[in-house]
Amino acid sequence: MSTSYKFQWPTMFSGLRGGTRANIPSEISAGITLAALIIPLNIGYAQVAGLPPVFGLYAGIIPLVVFAIFTSSPHVVGSPDAPIAAIMGAMLIGFAPIGDPLRMQYALALALMCGLLFFMFWLFRLAFLANFLSRAVLAGFITGLGIEVLTNQIRRILGAAHSIDGSGLAAIAEHLHSAMATSVHTTGYFVELIALFESIPHANLYSVAIGLGAFLIVRLMKKYAPKAPAALLALILTTVVVAVFGLDQKGVKVLGAMPSGLPSLTLPNVPPADYLRLLPGAMAVVGITLCEALLLVRSCSRKHNTGADGNQVLFAYGMASIASGFTGSLVSGPSASRTAAMDAAGSRSQLSSLVAAGTVALVMVFFTDEMAYLPTAALAGVVASAVLNLIEVEELRELWHMRRSEFWIAVVCLLSVLVFGPLHAVIIAFLLATIDLLRRASNPRTWVLHEAPDGSHFIPEETDHAPDTSGIIIYRFGSSLYFANANIFEEEIEKLVMQAAAPVKWFVLDTQAMNDMDTTGEETLHQVLAWLAKRGVTVAVSRADPSTTALLRHYHLLEVIGENRLYPTNHHAIAAFRRETGQATPETTAE
């Protein structure tokens, strides 16, 4: 039994301990760089979620400060990111259309639900659940989200007018839109894909030039000037072009007026019953954040040799989500790109996040009028460049070469996102991860151990190719014994005994890998012991650790086996067999 859990409140400001006085200039510089990343990307992710731009900008103020105060990681940046924005956009479709003020209320309520779930995960120390989403599941899910968001951004870059005639391709697309929405229950991807092809003939060439220009600026600067705030520079340049040439009068859509000033306290105006309807979406956001955040925390901790409590990081996300719900902000999650940018800029503590929050606050107070001319196509180009990193082609290729079964799991997750939408795909992803885990555990590797000719060691052989002529079988079961594999355990032992070339006198169970056993496993082992006893086979157990021995005693299995039949090694077991049966003992060396 493990020791009881002692409740502890999170330690505030632990993420600020990585910095030194000498590093303050680097932290300030990194914070300004972070603000330059936050402003364009947060606006873009707010649009991905179908929310006003100010939702994204507000997320870079109070929620960013709250996360910096409560997180235990000095390196991870808490900020809105593409997967969470995509999930929110899919979730909110069922509550209010884009542009409806009610959509904002549900977004804030969703943030509060996320906060409560994060607190529950923190309170019960459930950070370990991140281990149950495999690399393949995450790769497929994130790639699917990346494809969906990229498709949406390409349509924004085209800048096609919403009003088009109902003939030809438009009529066909609208018919498919209706058919798919009702029969496939898709949450939007294939409808968006049809709308994308439908928009191509009506694209605004100025908008396309602006969007592609922003995209190319970001990609080229990432390659040739990686430390420069490429996204901000791309937006400034395209905004100047739009203002100078009056492109907003030629069909190029711009951001428009935004409220200036700092965020104020807000309370979501949502019926209490609808909070339960928001629960699946909140679980999806929390699940993705849980996995990505803890993986990012571990990566940063290994790189910088710093400790970070994963459960406290969940508490920090809970506090940031509550702050988002009460300040009209987009929900924050783990941002690998911004975390990497801060690392490259020399940031070693959360002081850079505090500086970034102050910088964004100054922009909201003094420069909102200048942002009115930001072209939405340029924002789409910036977001498109960012989400390209989510489409993990190399990861899928590596899975194909390393393990085909995991590659197909990734593909199913990817297609689930596109066909059924992110919310249903989260459920499918968890089911696939569970099924894959059970599949592996229900069919463990097993071996029969044969003593080497000189007696120095044991040679494992697959049970299907291990005929026995010595009168003793040493059997290693490569997993815990539980309901999913108990039947295999029983059938394999019976087969080994029945098909042995010589009568089996002893059966030794090597329990090195059997570190747990449920009641189904206990019942099966009892049945196997009774079956072996009827055939006069002596049963022994080798290499049982103290916890396994305690479990055998708890299930009264030692009463059947006998305390004297517990052996620390297989050498001890086979030596006892030879003493009792009078067989010759070869010269041996220590195990």
Q: What is the 3-state secondary structure (H, E, C) of 122-136?
A: HHCCCHHHHHHCCHH
Cβ burial, residue 333 (10 Å; 0-12/13-18/19+): buried
The share of the chain scoring above pLDDT 70, in percent, equals: 90
Which range (16-25, 118-127, 252-261, 559-568) has the least confidence? 16-25
Work out the average pLDDT over 203-207: 92
Confidence of residue 342 (pLDDT cuts 50, 70, 90): confident
The count of C-alpha atoms lying within 13 angstroms of the C-alpha of 261, restricted to the half-sphere facing its C-beta, is 6
* Predicted local confidence at residue 49, as pLDDT: 92
| pLDDT at site 306 | 76
Per-residue pLDDT at 179 exceeds 50: no
* Pair 312, 127: CB distance under 8 Å: no
Phi first, then psi, for residue 451 (nearest 5°) are -70, 135
Cα–Cα dist 450/474, whole Å: 7
Contact partners, residue 224, CB within 8 Å, separation at least 6:
none
∠ CA 345-301-389, rounded to 5°:
60
Average pLDDT, the chain: 85
- Encoding tokens for residue 86? 């995509």
Average pLDDT of the residues in 255-263: 89
Domains of the chain and CATH, by start: 14-150+275-364+394-436 (no CATH), 446-581 (3.30.750.24)
Q: Is the pTM of this model over 0.85?
A: no
> What does the alpha-carbon distance between residue 210 and residue 257 come to, in Å, rounded to a whole number?
20
CA 296 to chain CA centroid, Å, is: 10
Q: Please give the pLDDT value at position 174.
A: 43
Minimum mean pLDDT range among 76-80, 343-347, 506-510:
343-347
Question: What is the tally of helices (H) and strands (E) in the chain?
Answer: 24, 8
In this prediction, residues 354-371 reach a mean pLDDT of: 92
Give, in degrees to the nearest 5, the angle at Cα 120 between 119 and 121. Answer: 90
pLDDT confidence of residue 167: 39
Answer whether residue 449 shows pLDDT above 60.
Answer: yes
Band of the pLDDT at 320, cuts 50, 70, 90?
Answer: very high
| Residues 475-530 pLDDT 10s | 999 999 999 899 999 999 999 999 888 899 999 999 999 989 999 999 999 999 99
pLDDT category at 135 given cuts 50, 70, 90 is: confident
Please tell me which residue, 582 or 260, carries the higher pLDDT value. 260
Reference 304, options 334, 348, 342, 344; nearest CA is 348
Q: Determine the average pLDDT of the residues in 81-90.
A: 88
Would you place residue 396 in the very low, low, confident or very high pLDDT band (cuts 50, 70, 90)?
Answer: very high
pLDDT for res 170 = 40
Confidence of residue 176 (pLDDT cuts 50, 70, 90): very low
What are the beta bridge partners of residue 460? 449
Lowest-pLDDT range of 308-317, 327-336, 487-496: 308-317
Supply the pLDDT for residue 166. Answer: 37
Task: Name every residue whose Cβ is closer than 8 Å to that of residue 430 and which is 6 or more positions away in sequence.
Answer: 132, 133, 287
* pLDDT of amino acid 130: 67
- According to DSSP, the β-strands at 446-451 and 566-567 are unpaired
Local confidence band at 54 (pLDDT 50, 70, 90 cut-offs): very high
pLDDT greater at residue 281 or residue 346: 281
Q: Residue 160: is its pLDDT beyond 50?
A: yes
Give yes or no for residue 552 having a pLDDT over 90: yes
Element (H, E) at 449: strand 446-451
pLDDT bin (cut points 50, 70, 90) of residue 215 is: very high
Is 315's pLDDT higher than 60? yes
**pLDDT for 123 beyond 70:** yes
Average pLDDT over residues 403-432: 84
